[in-house]
Amino acid sequence: MSKLSSVKPVVVTSSVALLSFGLFASSARAETYEIREGEDLWARLRDLAPGDEVIVHAGTYTQSSRWEATWAGTSDMPIVVRAAGGEARPVLTRDGGQNLMNLHGSYFTFHGFELTGGSHGIRMSDVRFATLEDLVVHDTGDVGISCNVSGMSCDHVTIRSSEIYDTNGTGEGLYLGCNGGACAFSDGTIERNYIHDLGGEQGDGIEIKQGSWGNVIRDNVVVRANYPGITLYSFEAMAGRTSNIIERNLVWGSNDNGIQVTGRAIVRNNVVLGATGSGIAVQANMDTPTEVQILFNSVLGAGDSCIRASSLDTATGMVIANNAVYCEGARAIRITSASSAVVVGNVGLGSLEGASGGLTMGTSVAADLGAMAMMARVYPPSGSALIDAADATQTVSDDFDVRARSGMLDVGAYERESSGMPVWLATEGFKEFGTPMPGVDAGPSTGADAGTIATTDAAIPPGVDGGPVPDAFIPPGVDGGRVSGVDAGASTNSGGCGCRAVARGEAHHALALCLALLGWIASRRRHGRR
């Protein structure tokens, strides 16, 4: 194991700062550790301080006893644990029934690992402002990744660009929040994951439990879940709590409902194919269904109904609008119990139950969704009945491919472009885009509550680059990465000088401090600090 000293950049305001250099360097110092196969990674990961970075090289790292750690970073000094670049993915594993990793803490990033074995791959509790990304989690005894410890919630957690498969036990890919609201998962972002072939007794792809709010589940691909591909409960309305949003996901081949929600949710721009139950279901689950908007989704080939809403006797705020619903031989839309649901602008095939209108018959699957529809290519061809057919009272600002919608809108998840081609040719695997996606790589998406809600406040924790996240991950202070709160030009690289004077007239103070800093580093290295 090697260790390199690194120093947080210091903003110089007067020559007094140079006299206090030793104090500043000591108090702001963080460490960079490099771990190689055969070294004790698990001991190292138990003992991290704010600003520490751990770089893990290729190899297999096995532990056989209960492992738990608190990574207590700060917004200015996050903790980063990442795989070394340009190498095979490090494998973290264990035998036996304990969880592989139990994590607590705040302001940390965990990036680039393969996790296999154990019960839960990662079980979080009492975690805030954290990012788990570019992980491969498989062959767990139970859940892939969870936050489900009673009384210990998770807030502003991002799980992105990760693959989860071959789970067992209850088998959820992501199990977030606690049964009965005993803990909450709030203001989180679940994006661009590939979750598939879930086993065990249940096997939801993404399950967010009762009492969780403000979450965004977007651009995920969920294939062959035993239970619904995405399951979302409801929460008690309070000031500061916003609706959960499920958008732009591909859910394919669920052995249950495709997407299942209870209350206070916006479900928009999703593609749902071949669900054994209903494509999108609104139903009671510990709460009465209420305040659900189902907008501009494309649903094909469900066993029961393309869209089903039940137990709506006392429901309010129910909207089913501008969806492409192709369930010929079954129900296009099925509403049970009397309700005040708004049903407008839907186009498709199949019967309409429980509503007096709001469904226009389409031509055929091939004519309206394309000849490759059952291969997840549900992009409307020229002449489709979906084109310019949306009801103008219900709108969204973009589509499944994050292309802007304007003028007369198309029904379903896609807005047909003049090119006649989608951005992503939908298939199994990660959802890919040729250009940065609003709200993912290029900043917040925007829009009105009627169809689009800004959804990215939780996407990038403060202190983890502070803004755009490139496809090739660059940790703060490493090869050009930024630390929130530090000028964009400052870097914690030990090979360069990350100092900056706040005024041009004080540049000589900054230069003096940089020279002193470099001298101190050289002195420390000569005395054996490596």
How far is it, in rounded angstroms, from Cα 12 to Cα 45?
Answer: 33
> Are 378 and 410 a contacting pair, CB within 8 Å?
no
pTM for the whole structure: 0.79
**pLDDT of amino acid 311:** 76
Q: What angle, 0 to 180 degrees and rounded to 10, lies between the N-to-C axes of helices 21-28 and 507-526?
A: 60
Per DSSP, the residues of 346-358 read EEEEEEEES-SS-
Task: Give 3-state DSSP helix, strand, coil % of the chain, rounded to 5.
Answer: 10, 35, 60
**pLDDT of amino acid 1:** 53
**pLDDT of amino acid 406:** 94
| Per-run averaged pLDDT (10 residues), the chain, 530 residues | 38 33 44 97 97 98 93 98 98 91 98 97 98 98 97 97 97 96 97 96 95 97 97 93 97 97 96 97 87 97 96 82 97 87 96 95 97 89 97 97 96 94 92 58 32 31 32 30 29 30 33 38 35
**pLDDT of amino acid 337:** 78
**pLDDT of amino acid 8:** 33
Strand partners, 320: 294, 343
**pLDDT of amino acid 137:** 98
How far is it, in rounded angstroms, from Cα 358 to Cα 294?
Answer: 13
**pLDDT of amino acid 479:** 31
Sign (positive or negative) of CA dihedral 368, 394, 277, 226: positive
> Are 288 and 311 a contacting pair, CB within 8 Å?
yes
**pLDDT of amino acid 312:** 74
> Are 391 and 295 a contacting pair, CB within 8 Å?
no
With b for 16 or more beta-carbon neighbours within 10 A and e for fewer, the 244-259 pattern comes to bbbbbbbbbbbbbbbb
